[in-house]
Every structure is written in C-alpha cells, then in structure tokens.
Structure 1
Amino acid sequence: MNTLADISGQVDGELVRLSLGPFRPYLVTRPDHIQQVLKSDWTNYQREGMFWQPLRRVLGASILGDGEPWKSSRKALQPLFTARYVTSLAGTMAEVINQRMDELDEYAAAGRSIDAAEQMTGIVNAAVVRALFGDRISRADGERLAPAYATAAGSIAFRLVMPFMPYSIRVPGDRAFMKAVETIDDVVFPLIRKARADSSGGPDVISALCELRDGDAAGDRQIRDDLVSVYGAASESTAMTLTWLWPLLDAHPEVTARLREEIGRVVGHGPVAPEHVPDLRYTRMVLQELLRLYPAGWIFPRMAMRDSEIGGVRIKAGSQVLISPYATHRLKEFWERPLEFDPERFAPGGQPRRHKYAYFPFGGGPHQCLGQHLFYVEAPLLLGALLGRFRIGVRSKGPFTAAAAASLQPRQNIELDITRVERVAGGVR
C-alpha cells in the first residue's frame, strides 16, 4: 500500500498503469476519477475479476458483490444500518464494552502488557457479535469467529498480490484460509437455523434478516453471506483501524491529553453509555483522522465492463482498476502535510472544503459501506471506556508497517502498557 501511495504521489494522482508481472491494472487516485468509477459510471465498474475471487470464497454472493445478489442483500440490510437502528443497538454494545473493561483491570493490576490487535479484536468482536446474534451465541463461539475471520483476511495476501495465480495451484495461505472459512460456517449456520426456529424474533440483526428473508428462495446461504460480510465490515475492519490508533496517540501526547480531557468531562467516573457519544466531538475528529491515514478498506478493485475513458485515458473492457483510499488520502494536492496525524483537519468549519472523494474511508456511490454509522457509535464507546479508565502507552518499538491483507493490518505486534487511572478529588492522576 505504501508503494501505491508513492506511485500516486509521483504522478500527482494522475492515472497510471501498474506492471505486476502479467497483470497490468490501472491505479485511480484522483478524487474526480474516483467519483466517476464509484458513482457517476458505477454500473460500468463492477466488483468482478481476479481480485474479487479470493474474497468471494469467504464472503459469498452478498452485499460486497454486484448484480442481483447485491441488490437483494442491500435491500435487506439497509434498514438495519440506518443511524436510528444502529443507535438502538448502542446500549447492547456499551454493556459488552464495559464488561470487557473489567477484564482489562486484571492486566493493569498485574502490570501485564496487552497486544493491541488482540484486545481491539476481542472487545469489538464481543460487541458486534452481541449486536448481530443477540443472546443466541455463546461467548466461546463468538470468540471463534474473530480469529477465524482474521486468518481468512490475512491468509489471502498471496492471492491479492498475485491474483492471476490459478486456484488449481496451492499457494501459501490456502490451507489456513479454507480451515478458517470452515470455522466461520460451523458457527454461523447453526445460529441461522436457531434464529429461523425462534418466531419471537429480537432486536439483533440475524432476527431481522431472517424475518426480512422469510420465504426467500436464497435460503440460509444468502443470510450467511450477508452476516459474514457485515461482521467483517463491523468487527475486523473496526478492530484493525483502532489498532493503528495507539502508536499515533503515543507519538502525539497533545492529542492524547485533549482526548482524555474530553472523555473525562463527558463520560466522568461511570461506565460509558450511548448518550455520551454525541458529546464526544473531539473523539470523532480523532477517529476521522485515523481513518484518513489507516482506512481498513485500503483498496477497492473494479473491472471495466465495457470500453470507457478516465481522465483522457482509454480503458478497455475487462481491464482492472484499483482505487486506494490509502493513496488518495496522502495526495499533497488535497491534503496539507498529508503524512502528519492532525485531527484538527476535521474541526467543524475550520478547514477548506475538499472534493467529496478526497476522503472516502467507507467507499462511495451505491456501494458505500453500510457500517459507517456503526463505526461512529462503536468506536467512540470503546475509546470512552478505555481512556476513561486506563492510561495506555506503547511498549513496542516502531516504526509499524502494514502487511498485505484484505484489511489494513500491522505487520508487527503492537504491545501496550495499561495502567489504571487513579481518581482523586478534582480530577485524575
């Protein structure tokens, strides 16, 4: 991904054709070109081609596809990811997050460090699993999902780098990938059957999906594909994004101090709650800047279905184009000091207007990620709970680099020191 950002910067975001052995995709990073591909001419640029093959082996035909399966899934899922519906799930997520803080107390009391990716994944996974599956899933099964999905996302690195490799040839990661998909299916399919049998329904997503798809010929497989896709967007992607936050805060103590001040003022001494989220305004700015530098969806492949033109360059039918928020968010033409972490970029009314597609961590157009409302509820709740109770520092030595995977994952372990905040009269210490 750094290579893509470097290439894009060298050509000032103009269209460039990459040479990856026999594979020659176009790199598209200018906001106006991205708007064409994702919105104005989106029907010509579909989620097809060799880049999507490894993802479909885990996600199936779902909200992350195209054509009729996508239309069907979008219709079923969209009502479940409005701001209003997500807010209705916030209490459940806050309850789970607060419970997990009690468990982190044990690490703080013992002076033990924690692995950032492992803990972010564990906490986010617990909250999302409860929102998706309600009380139908055991904690043990919920905790099987997170590592299985992470393995599936990470083990397709070879396939993503060399998408032209035939599937008849086993490559590194294939065996781990298939085992991970089997684990996901072993957890999800019984939950679907259980939800279908329970006519009482519930506030969770699986109940709503089963009700919406009652009598649907697509059956359990379609619900499974929808749930796994939503789970990945809401859990694994969020966890990986939050993992990158801690080195940034460690390197910017002034941001940490302001973040802690806001959380202390808004959340106070008690547990975090949904009503705190609207008042965590600086926290949201921090999260927006985090998504600029480390968008979990770092690459969006598309295939041209017919001959077209982007920025004066002829694109033949069947050509692959690669859109990378990671690269676009680092273009100097659109971002001053693009490599610096500066949440003030997102201060209300404090920054110049930018092209809508200069910043698109959740994609855009008809395929814009449904999970953005969930992220902006779930992530502030987690940060409010963590920084309201603990001081966190990075023990590992950087710099930290990203590994090639379906989501933006750190290559190195990020170990954190965690200390319980002592509350005294008039504040904390």
Structure 2
Amino acid sequence: MIVRLPAGSPSLYLVSHPDHVQHVLRGNWENYQRDGMLWRPVRRLLGQSILSDGASWEASRRIMQPLLTARKVASLAEEMARTVNERVGELEGYAVSGRTFDAAEELADLVNQTVIKVLFGGRLSRAAGHRLSLAYDRATRAIAFRLLMPSMPYSLRLPGDRTFMAAVKTIDEEILPMIRQGCPHAPGDVFSALYQARAERGEGERQIRDDIVNMYSAAAETTATALTWLWPTLDAHPDVADRLRAEVDQVVGDGPVRASHLPELTYTSMVLRELMRLSPAAWLFPRVAENADRIDGVPIEAGAQVLISPYATHRLDGFWDRPLEFDPERFAPGAAERRHRYAYFPFGGGPHLCLGKPLFEMAAPLIIAAILSRFRPTVRGGRPITPLPAATLRPRQKVELTLVHARREAA
C-alpha cells in the first residue's frame, strides 16, 4: 500500500499500510524528517520546538515531556474539572433563550479557557485567551494554499498569507508579554516549570515563546476540533447518542463533573476514540526522506516526500471491519489487543508521539460529561458536514447547535 502520486519533483509517496507507517514513524524514524509539506509553512507559526526536528526538538522534548506526562496531567485534573464546570455553566444563556451558536467557536473558547488555566495559571486574561484562540483558528485555516504548495517562495504572496501573518502577530502580542513578566515565584504550573528550565539553560524569550506556542497547539487544537465533530456525529447516530447520555446520567447525574468520574466514563472514551478514527484532527503527517530507503521493496529516493495519513489508514478494510461506519464498540476494553499498533495512530507514533495526548484524554471526556449532564445539544439544519483538509481536519460547514436543559427533556 505504497502509492506514488503524480507530483513531479521531488517524488511524493502515500504510505498507508500499518507495517509501512510503523517503519516511517518508528523503525527508521530518524531518516524521515518533519519538513516540506505542512511543516515548512507551519514553522512560521510554531518555530523550533516539539513540532520541529533535530537538536531543537530533542532539547524541547527533554524539557517538556516530564511536564505533560499522564501522572502530571492527572495532578491537574481537579483544577481542570472546576474550570470546565464553570465554563460549561456559561452556556446556560443559550438554553434559556433558545439561541443557536457556532459550536467550533464556542467549544474552542471552552477548551481554550481550560488549557490556559491548567498550563498558564492566571497569567492570561479571559480576553487575551479568546484572542489567542481566534488567532490560532485563523492561522490554521489560512495555511491551506501553502499546504498544497510548500515549495512556493514566500516572496510570492498566496491567498491566506496576509491573514496567517496577522494571526502570528496577534499570538506573539499575547504570549511575549507573559514571558517578559517572568516567573519570580514559580507557583508550580506548567508554564513556570518550562520557563525555569529554559532560564537555567540561558535561553531567551524566542525559544520559550516557541515552546509555549507548540504546547498550546498540542493541548488545545486536537480537543477543540474533536469536540466540534462530535455533535454532527451523534446527530447522525442517535443510538450512540442515547447510550452516551445514559452513561453520563449514571456517572455524573446532576453534576458537577469531577476528576473522579473519568475512570467510569468508559463509553465516552470509546466514542472519542472512534471519533478520532474517522475524523482525526491531525489527518496528515508528511515526512521527507533524508537518505534513500526501501519500504517493503519499494525504493524511496533521498529528498522524496512521504505522506502518512491517519485519515486513510483508519479506513483500510483489511484492518477494520465496516471501516466507514461509526461504531464505538471497536474500542471496547480489550479490543485494542487484537489490532495492529499502527492501524490507529491519531496522535502519531514513535518518538514523535504527540505530547498533548494525556491532556486530550482528560479534557475531552470532562467537557462532554459536563455538557451532557446539563444540556441536550441539537445540531441545527441537518445538512451533511464535510471535512476541510487544512492544517487540521475541521468541518467545512459551520456546526450550529441549540441547547435544551437535560432535566427538562427527561421530563
């Protein structure tokens, strides 16, 4: 399952078989660099940190990985739950008035507040966090043309360039003042630990800025995108929605949601994993072969672009029964034992496994449970929602929601 795509020079290969994906992401990962398509344009936003490669990636990962382990994130769970409950409570106005709202915008802001609280303590105001979230959204969408033409010189303007650079400027205007204030008392949040580690190495604000932007992206983008896809998916699968609501009613009841609820939200986790199978936020992992290689007998020349797509591999009928159907039962406890390790990789794999994975696995179930314990969201319009393949896989159409109170519906 290696396909050479008609792209001229350099050669372009799509690799989708799990064995071949494993070879690129783990077995011979040092030969396949994060460069070219996607990475070159995105680097103008992210700089040099955990989403780059080489020495800067190694240094950043050594510093940041201990700050985002499952154990460290678990220690922040109660604070995260409190923030989620407070922010979900603000949706009450929609339920009372019956007004619709843009799910992508509202959920991005919800996730944003949660991530900012956990990662940065009280260093960013609500208004600053909102501006940061909107700037990330604009940058992600504006990159589409550069994604398709990564070799195009930046001296030549493409559609979206102006919007992208304005978004980067806004992000810097929010992040850099926070860095310049320093961390005199190191209160123990993730940002403080990161700041102190970089300061001990004598590194300046630009490296700290890149680390923060990468960390924020890893923590917030996947969660917000997945939660936007959730509601049209549930709307199309009412049996799944009913079972999900039943679990939340049983585990959380009238709320508030707490960190202690997480181990009991089994079906919620199954739904999220199946959602990430069919609608993975990170839908494309491009690589550049540094040296010539062979994958299952197919020669890959030095400099060739190699595309790995969870969106494609997650749909292979040789590894998934009824691959186009949404079925959370695929992720019932124990089911993963029968699956190829690289048949499912929404967070990447090998040394470049996404550091934001523990945050996603905690924040997303808490947010879903908090929403469903209070409200019954309904998608307005009933039109098909199709993907927009930008830097992340977002819905092309606006997802509009209305809310009713959960207890009123039950009555």
TM-score (structure 2 length as normaliser):
0.97
Find the residue that maps to 1:409 and give its secondary structure.
Answer: strand
C-alpha separation in 1, matches of 2:133 and 2:202: 29
Task: Note closer, same or farther for the CA distance 1:260–1:50 as it changes in structure 2 (3 Å cut).
Answer: closer
Where does residue 379 of structure 1 map in the other structure? Answer: 364
Q: Which stretch has the larger CA shift, 342-351 or 387-396?
A: 342-351
> 1 CA distance for matches of 2:302 and 2:289?
5
**Pair 1:29-2:16 in alignment:** yes
Q: Deviations for 1:362-418, whole angstroms, at most 9, x for unmatched residues?
A: 000000001111111000100010000001111133211111311111110011121
Match of 1:3 in 2: none
- Encode CA deviations 1:270-304: one digit per residue, 9 max, x unaligned: 21111111110110000110110111100001111
Q: 1:87 aligns with which of 61, 66, 74?
A: 74
Q: Percent same amino acid at aligned positions? A: 57
Structure 2: where are the runs of 5+ without partners?
none
1:327 to 312, 323, 326: 312
- Deviation of 1:91 after TM superposition, in Å, equals 1.8
CA distance, structure 2, for counterparts of residue 274 and residue 51 of structure 1: 36
Choose the corresponding residue for 1:113, options 78, 94, 100. Answer: 100
CA distance in 2, matches of 1:341, 1:178: 38
Match of 1:130 among 113, 117, 120: 117
Q: Is the 8 A contact 2:37 2:286 kept in 1?
A: no
1:392 aligns with one of 377, 384, 396: 377
| 1:78 aligned residue (59, 65, 79) | 65
The answer to whether the aligner puts 1:212 opposite 2:201 as a matched pair is: no
Cα 1:352–1:74 change in 2 (3 A) is closer
C-alpha displacement of 1:203: 3.0
Corresponding position of 2:179: 192
Is 2:90 the partner of 1:103? yes
Aligned-partner Cα distance in 1 for 2:186–2:68 = 18
Tell me, yes or no, if the aligned pair for 1:285 and 1:347 is still in contact at 8 Å. Answer: yes
**Alpha-carbon distance in structure 2 between the residues aligned to 1:371 and 1:151:** 21
Deviates more, 1:392-401 or 1:409-418: 392-401
| Residue 408 of structure 1: aligned partner | 393
SS of aligned partner of 1:322: strand
Shift of 1:352: 6.6
Find the partner of 2:39 among 52, 64, 68. 52
Q: Structure 1 stretch 396-405 or stretch 131-140: which is displaced more?
A: 396-405
Cα shift at 1:47? 0.9
Matched residue type, 1:66: D
1:267 corresponds to which residue? 252
Residue 343 of structure 1 is matched in structure 2 by 328
What is the match of residue 357 of structure 1? 342
- 4+ residue segments displaced more than 3 Å: 20-24
SS at match of 2:151: coil
**1:351, CA displacement in angstroms?**
6.7
| Matching residue of 1:227 | 212
TM-score, structure 1 length as denominator? 0.93
Question: Residue deviations 1:317-374, cap 9 Å, x none?
Answer: 1111000000000011000111111000011135771110000000000000011111
Contact between 1:262 and 1:282, CA under 8 Å: does it hold in 2? yes
| Separation in 1, partners of 2:242, 2:133 | 31
Give the counterpart of 1:284 among 242, 246, 269. Answer: 269
Residue in 2 that maps onto 1:368: 353
Unmatched segments (≥5 aa) in structure 1: 1-13
Q: How does 1:284-303 map to 2 (within 5 A)?
A: 284-303=269-288
Deviation, structure 1 residue 21: 5.8
> Could you say which residue in structure 1 is the equivalent of 2:134?
147
Q: d(CA) in 1 for partners of 2:116 and 2:334?
A: 36
Question: For 1:204-257, what per-residue CA distance to the aligned partner results, in whole angstroms no more than 9, with x for missing partners?
Answer: 211010122223233211111111111112112210111111111011111111
Aligned residue pairs, count: 411
Q: CA deviation at 1:50?
A: 4.6
SS in 2 for 1:99: helix
Q: Could you tell me how far apart the structure 1 residues matched to 2:153 and 2:4 are?
A: 23
Conserved 8 A contact 2:63-2:197: yes
> Are residues 1:174 and 2:161 paired?
yes
Summarize the Cα distance change of 1:181–1:242 in structure 2 as closer, same or farther, 3 Å threshold: same
Q: Is 2:227 the counterpart of 1:257?
A: no
Contact 1:39–1:364 (Cα < 8 Å) also in 2: yes
Shift in Å, 1:20: 3.5
Instruction: Work out the CA distance in 1 between the residues paired with 2:188 and 2:104.
Output: 29
- Partner letter of residue 86 of structure 1? V
Q: Secondary structure at the match of 1:268?
A: coil
